Copies of this chain bind each other. A is one copy, B any other.
Amino acid sequence: MKLQEIASILGCEFGASDVEITGMNTLKDASSSEVSFISNSKYVKDIQDTKAAAVIINAALVEHLPSGCVALVVEHPYWSMAILSKYFAPAIEDENAAPAQIGTGTKISPKAELANGSVVGKNCTILANVYVGSNAVIGDNTIIYPNVTIYRDCKIGSDCIIHAGTVIGSDGFGFASNRLGEHKKIYQNGNVVVEDDVEIGSNTSIDRAVFGSTTIKKGVRLDNLIQVGHNCEIGEYVVAAAQSGFAGSTKIARNNVFGAQSGVSGHLEIAPFNTFAARTGVTKNVKESGKTFAGFPFMDHKTWLKIQGKLARLIK
């Protein structure tokens, strides 16, 4: 899509030389053929170093753009970004892609559906009513139980087990809102990458990234009914018990352990090798390792136990 066409869609003036735009991305990650946007003042520091071809931006911030980066000046950049995201959304299924490729030794139920463009490795088992979307790729020796849905463009490693009813690659929860309280969908044009040796329980939901990938790294163990928001990175060998949830863009380093019904807020970074008791609500970055936390808002587990003791004495 030409940059001039984008300017026209967004109702911006356009006087620059035209270029082909291949997608959208954050200020930090955009390439010179992508459009970015700035809608939150905390990202202003990222403007000057962006490599984006163009940025959807308020007039007041234009002066911060690096030279050669085109300003797409609008009143509501987040809303405009949402409008534009739809134009980069791929078709739900890629009907023109080649039929699914299936490795030797792989068994696929006739009641499963592998969309065009999907690729399944060797010695996999794919049971009834599984759906594998266009251009999704599955490694070797992976077992996918019935009624699992894998959306288009997602990647599943080798030696994985995905239990029934789990959804990988549903849209992240993203939209812009206007002053009337209406919402405009931000198309989630990224994917999910599940690395090797991962087991995911039943009825768990892992959302695709808005840009880039939601990542479940090697050796992770996720239980049932877990939520993983868009653009999360769940580190190697992380363990999360049932009904826990990870809000969007949070990075969990390796070997953290989360008890049942725990939750982690969005945009956090959690250092490796910690334990979070059941029901912990993690509200801030964790920089230490080797600790045990509990409570909401979360605190050292021993402190939490002391507070419970104090509360019990309070009422006597």
Contacts and interface: CB of A to CB of B under 8 A. Distances in A.
A303 B315 contact: yes
B145 A129 contact: no
Given A145-B151, A242-B205, A278 B261 contact: no
A79 interface: no
A247 interface: yes
A151 B167 contact: no
Given A173-B201, A279-B296, A307-B315, A245 B265 contact: no
A290 to B, nearest CB: 12
Interface in A263-315: 263, 265, 273, 278-279, 281, 296-297, 299, 303, 306-308, 310-312, 314-315
A16 to B, nearest CB: 34
Contact of A314 (B148, B260, B281, B310): B310
B175 A170 contact: no
Interface string A214-247: 0000010101110101000000110101110101
A149 B164 contact: yes
Interface in A74-133: 92-93, 109, 111, 113, 125, 127-129, 131
Interface residues on A, range: 35 or more
A160 B107 CA distance: 32
A207 interface: yes
A153 interface: no
A263 B245 contact: no
A50 interface: no
Nearest to A245: B243
A223 to B, nearest CB: 5
B201 A203 contact: no
A297 B312 CA distance: 10
A27 interface: no
A28 interface: no
9 contacts: A128-B131, A173-B242, A181-B236, A181-B237, A181-B254, A181-B255, A227-B260, A245-B260, A279-B281
